Amino acid sequence: MYGKCNHPPDSSSSCNRLGFLQKNNSLEERSRIVSSFKERAAKNLLSCDNIGGDARFRRTETDFSNLFARDLLPAKNGEEQTIQFLLEVVEILTNYIRKTFDRSTKVLDFHHPHQLLEGMEGFNLELSDQPESLEQILVDCRDTLKYGVRTGHPRFFNQLSTGLDIVGLAGEWLTSTANTN
């Protein structure tokens, strides 16, 4: 009745804690999982605990407008700025992933080129002699994801695309971090 599990979707059985990408999950179960993800994202459940030598960090309000790439690791005393910057990037990416799986969002938020030039904050095709601040880099990340095609969207169809694989995404992050060549 409920896929491979005979428990109702609201029970606390271990089979209901499976990911929502499994084929046999009910719509109620998918909604519960997405709601849980939204709640955790809203509460920002990152803590400052150091359990077993594995540090976790709390996201704090950081003014990135006066910070640049040179202020991040390996810069001396760049650890806190690096952590906060990466946490902000992760938040941008998780919001994008959440919206990607929401069937009510558009596959593409289409705009004509002149509309893009008017609407994108701080967008300029000219290359500056000065470096961009981390704040501008974060804005550019948001704009890139906002105006790009959501190839992981359930309504995006292509003979070469199978959607967004979260485990594969984690593997890509891991590989990019470990292999800097």
- List the CATH number of the domain containing 170: 3.90.1150.170
Name the pTM for this structure. 0.66
Considering the domain architecture, whether residues 102 and 15 belong to the same structural domain is answered as no
By percentage, how much of the chain surpasses pLDDT 90?
A: 41
Residues with Cβ within 8 Å of residue 154, at least 6 apart in sequence = 101, 103, 163
**How many structural domains are present in the chain?**
2
Return the pLDDT at 115: 83
Considering the domain architecture, whether residues 38 and 106 belong to the same structural domain is answered as no
Considering the domain architecture, whether residues 93 and 143 belong to the same structural domain is answered as yes
Higher per-residue pLDDT: 25 or 84: 84
Return the pLDDT at 111: 86
Taking the C-alpha atoms of residue 44 and residue 83, their distance in angstroms, rounded to an integer, is 15
Return the pLDDT at 70: 97
Average pLDDT, the chain: 78
Return the pLDDT at 120: 66
Window from 68-72, 90-94, 123-127, 144-148 with minimum mean pLDDT: 123-127
Task: Render pLDDT for 82-131 as a digit per residue (tens, 0 to 9).
Answer: 999 999 999 999 999 999 999 999 999 888 888 877 776 666 667 889 99
Considering the domain architecture, whether residues 156 and 100 belong to the same structural domain is answered as yes
Please report where in the chains the tokens 């009745």 appear, as a residue.
1
